[in-house]
Amino acid sequence: MIRVAVMALAMAGLVAGCSTDVEEPTVNDQDVAAIKDALYAKGTAEEELARLEPLVIEMADAVVGVVPNLTWFRNRDERRISCEAVPGDPSSASALTLRNVVFDGPIPDDAWPQALSRVQDIAARVGATELQVRADGPGNHDVLMVGDDKVQFGLGTLEAGVISARTGCHLTLSDQDRYSK
C-alpha cells in the first residue's frame, strides 16, 4: 500500500503548476480587464472541478473495462494551485487538482494502448488533446493529455495505475471576490 501511495504522489507531480519560466510581455490595464472578463466568463474553478469529476470516474471505469481484474480508489484531497492568467500576477487565477484515481495494480503492457485510447477519447471531450509522453517503456508508461486552457489529465502505470487531473486556470470563488467588479 505504501508503494501505491508513493506512486500516487509521484503522479501528482504531473499536475504541478501552470505558470512558466518564460517572461511574459507587460500588459496594460485594458488588457488586464479583458483577461479578467474572459476568466469570469469561463466560470469558477470549482464549477470546472465539478464538470471534470464525472470524466475522471468515467476514465477509471474505462481502464477497468480494458483490465477487468483492476479495482480503483480515490486518494488525496483536491488542491488549489496558483495560475498566472494575468502576466506578472502569479496568483491571478487558480487551478484545482482533482483527487487521483489509484488502481490496485499496474495496467499491463498489452492493455496499455487500449486503456490509453479510451482515456484519450474521454479527455478530448473537454479539449485535452495534446499528448505528452513522459515515459513509455515496458511496465512504465506515463502520459499527460493537455488542453488549450491548461486542463490536464495524466495516465500512468508502474507499480500501480494512476489517473490524475487538473482544471485549467479559472477564478475560484475567493478569486472572484478579490477581483469583484
- For the segment 23-52, the average pLDDT, to the nearest whole number, is 81
Which position has the grid cell 484515481? 101
Q: Which of 160, 178, 179, 175 is nearest to 44 (CA)?
A: 175
Share above pLDDT 70 across residues of the chain, in percent, rounded to a whole number: 78
Whether residue 69 is predicted with pLDDT greater than 50 in this model: the reply is yes
Query: What are the residue ranges spanned by the domains of the chain?
Result: 2-11+45-178
- Say which residues have a Cβ less than 8 Å from residue 80's Cβ, sequence separation at least 6: 45, 94, 95, 96, 172
List, for residues 133-181, the tens digit of each pLDDT value.
999 999 999 999 999 888 999 999 999 999 999 999 888 766 555 555 4
Q: Is the confidence at residue 13, as pLDDT, over 60?
A: no
Q: Is the pLDDT of residue 4 over 50?
A: no
Overall average pLDDT of the 114-143 stretch: 97
Residue 27 has pLDDT above 80, yes or no: no
Q: Please compute Rg for the chain using Cα positions.
A: 17
**Confidence class for position 46, pLDDT limits 50, 70, 90:** confident
The CATH number given to 2-11+45-178 is 3.30.2030.20
pLDDT of residue 162: 98
Burial of 157 (0-12, 13-18, 19+ CB in 10 A): buried
Report the distance separating Cα 20 and Cα 106, nearest Å. Answer: 32
Give the tens place of pLDDT for each residue, 73-93.
999 888 888 887 767 776 678
Q: What is the mean pLDDT of residues 2-18?
A: 39
Arithmetic mean of pLDDT over the chain: 83
Is 50 exceeded by the pLDDT of residue 71?
Answer: yes
Position 26 confidence tier, pLDDT thresholds 50, 70, 90: low
